[in-house]
Amino acid sequence: WLTFIMPASPASQHLGDDRTIDMLLIGGSFVTAVPLLLFAAAVKKMTLSAIGLLNYLAPTIQFLVGVFVYNEAMTLSHLVCFLLIWLSIALYWTDSYLAGKAARSPQTVLPR
């Protein structure tokens, strides 16, 4: 993508002009690819419900960083929406956990 867009701009830095930029571009690809490869390897050993829960973690962490680190405005409507989303996730997770636990527990057979 960069090789197509960079030559189009006469004022752009081309690869090879600055070693620092070159190393940042090359290193950036590894910094992006390695966590994705590790996540793909870990996902193979997880249940689908756990993977679904993980999909909510990144936006939640971004939301919390925005509120507590960058002092973004936290209105009552934001808080209510955030809590309702996590309440619904907790209800779903609890139901899935209890259903899985019931399926794994040994069932007693009553004599006739």
Q: What is the residue-level pLDDT of the chain in tens, covering all 112 positions?
A: 555 555 555 555 556 677 888 788 888 888 899 999 999 999 999 988 788 888 888 889 999 999 999 999 999 999 999 999 999 989 988 988 888 887 877 766 666 6
Q: Which domain holds residue 6?
A: 1-45
Domain count, the chain: 2
**Helices (H) then strands (E): counts for the chain:** 4, 0
H or E segment and range at residue 48: helix 48-68
Residues 50 and 12 in one domain: no
Q: Which two tokens stand for residue 16?
A: 């090879």
Q: Are residues 65 and 96 in the same domain?
A: yes
- Do residue 24 and residue 66 come from a single domain? no
Residues 20 and 53 in one domain: no
Q: Residue 68: what residue type?
A: F
Whether residue 13 contacts residue 6, with contact meaning beta carbons closer than 8 Å, is answered with yes
**Closest by CA position to 47, among listed 102, 106, 96:** 96
The answer to whether the beta carbons of residues 89 and 56 sit under 8 Å apart is yes
